[in-house]
Amino acid sequence: MIMFVSGRLKDHHQLAAFDCGEPALNLWLTDQARRAQLAGTSRTYVWTREDSDDVIAYYSIAPTQVERAGLTGSQAGGYSVVPAYILTRFALDRSIQGQHLSDDLLLDAVEVIVKAARAAGGRLIVVDAINSRVAEWYHRRGFHPIKGDPLRLVMKVETAKRALNTSMVTVSMEGGLAGMVLSTPDGQATSVVISADELRAIAREIDSRVADAKPDTMLSLREAIWTAIGRDPFADDCQPRMAE
C-alpha cells in the first residue's frame, strides 16, 4: 500500500510536476501558494509519497466571513456576519485521480479547519465549487448551497466535528460476497463479510436516508445498516442489536 505524507507546504516540496488537469489550480500552486503563505493570507497543505518531495495533492485554507443573507438561521446562529474558514483550493494530481482519494483529502482539510476553529473560533466551513458537478460532489458530503448561489456551499463546524467523531465503512466486492471494514476514530478496524443482497439493501436504505435528510444533519451509517438487514454485523457478539 502506498502511504501519503500530509503536512504544511514547506520549501523542500517540489511543485513543478503537479498536474490536476485544471491549469488554474496548477498555476496557483506553483506561482502563488508560497507567496500567499508568506503574506499570511492562506495556508496550503500538501500530500507527498513517503519517498518523494513531489506534491501529488493539495488544499489551501483561509479565514473569511460570510454575510447573513443566504444562510439559514441555524447556519448564521443569530449573527449578521459569520466567522468562517474557506477551502480556497483543492486538487489531486492526475496520477492519483480515480482512486477514491478525494474524500480522504477533504477529510484531511476538514480536520485542519476543525482544529483551527477549536483554537481560534469560527462557525462555518465554506467551499466555492468551480461548476455544478463539483457542487453536487460537495453536497453529497454534507455541504449545503447558500440561497442564491448554488456554487457556494457551507457546513457548520459543529457538524464537521460530529462527522470526525464517527466511524467510516469501506466496501469491497468479490463474487457474490461483500467485505466491509469499519474504521473508528481511535484507529481500530473491524472487517465482516455480508451477501451482495444485504449490501444492496444497505445501499437502498442509505440512498433513502440521504434523500430525506434535512440540512445540517448527520446520518448514522450503522443505524442504516441495522434497519436494512436487521442486525449490526460489526457488533462484538454478532447479535441483532446496535452497539453502544
Per-residue pLDDT reduced to its tens digit, 173-191: 776 788 887 766 555 677 8
- 81: pLDDT strictly greater than 90: yes
Element (H, E) at 144: strand 144-146
- 217: pLDDT strictly greater than 60: no
Residue 194: pLDDT band (50, 70, 90) is: confident
Q: Please tell me the distance from the alpha carbon of residue 224 to that of residue 109, in angstroms, as a whole number.
A: 27
Residue 99: pLDDT band (50, 70, 90) is: confident
Amino acid at 99: Q
Concatenated DSSP letters for 43-79?
EEEEEEETT--BEEEEEEEEEEEEESTTS-HHHHTT-
Question: Rounded to two decimals, what is the model's pTM?
Answer: 0.69
For residues 145 and 129, the answer to whether their CB atoms sit within 8 Å is no
Lowest mean pLDDT among 120-124, 193-197, 198-202, 222-226: 222-226
> Would you state the cell numbers that stand for residue 133, as one nine-digit string?
458537478
Q: Please tell me the distance from the alpha carbon of residue 76 to that of residue 216, in angstroms, as a whole number.
A: 12
- 220: pLDDT strictly greater than 70: no
- Looking only at the bridges linking them, the beta strands covering 124-128 and 81-92 are parallel
Residues in the chain: 244
Q: Please tell me the distance from the alpha carbon of residue 186 to that of residue 164, in angstroms, as a whole number.
A: 11
The residues with which 177 forms a beta bridge, in sequence order, are: 174, 195
Q: Please tell me the distance from the alpha carbon of residue 223 to that of residue 243, in angstroms, as a whole number.
A: 10
At residue 50, the pLDDT reads 84
